[in-house]
Amino acid sequence: MGEEAGQLGSTRSFETVEGALTYPEVSEKLAVSLAQILARLLKTPPHEIIITPEWLCRKHQELAGHLFPEWAGRFRTTNVMVGTLEPPAYYKVPLLVHSFCDDLAERLRHVDEGNLPDIAAFLAWVDWRFQWVHPFKDFNGRIGRLALAALLYKLALPPVETAPTEPEMRREYLEALRAGDAGNLDPLQKIWIRRLGEAI
């Protein structure tokens, strides 16, 4: 979700420290940053990776700070619309992110690592909840996927594809996120069961 919705072939442009860049140009630069962040992540002992509000902000800064120093690494300061979703008001974001991180840590402690549906339910909740809060001005999808990659690593699971580009799978994923907004995480859990099953 976030900036991911409908961005393939987007004509959006961004004002960056390097001047005006198109969405594909920004995506290319962010892909390099994201690859570097993931490489560093995989060199970190899993038990040292703790997803906190500070961790999320630091990763967002590492991802986009070279292009958007004014707001990268900081929670959004305006209300936004993401497709048909109106995320929580900006002033609620700090508290919601703290709550998200606390809930994540507690849920992670109780995940049955031998139970695929249980793992999928946990990852589906993380996937949906982070995107629902939509804490940053932009690039929430990338940070959400980074958090999921960190959790897969902590759970000693292989990486999975979390950004479907095939139109039908992308539509299914976005519809599953919308179902989560309505209180039903079953469709997203099924997607995660399939993702994990294909990766293991």
- Active-site positions read 134
DSSP H or E run through 16: strand 13-16
Residue 144 labelled as part of a binding site: yes
**Residue 75 CB neighbours (<10 A):** 20
Residue 142 labelled as part of a binding site: yes
Give the Å distances, CA to CA, from 22 to 17, 29, 75. Answer: 13, 11, 23
Residue 143 labelled as part of a binding site: yes
Token pair recorded at residue 5: 């919705």
Token pair recorded at residue 71: 């707001």
Instruction: For residue 136, report the phi and psi dihedrals to the nearest 5 degrees.
Output: -110, 160
Residue 145 labelled as part of a binding site: yes
How many Å apart are CA 39 and CA 51, to the nearest integer? 17
Question: Which residues participate in the annotated binding site for ATP?
Answer: 138-145
Could you tell me which residues are annotated as the binding site? 138-145
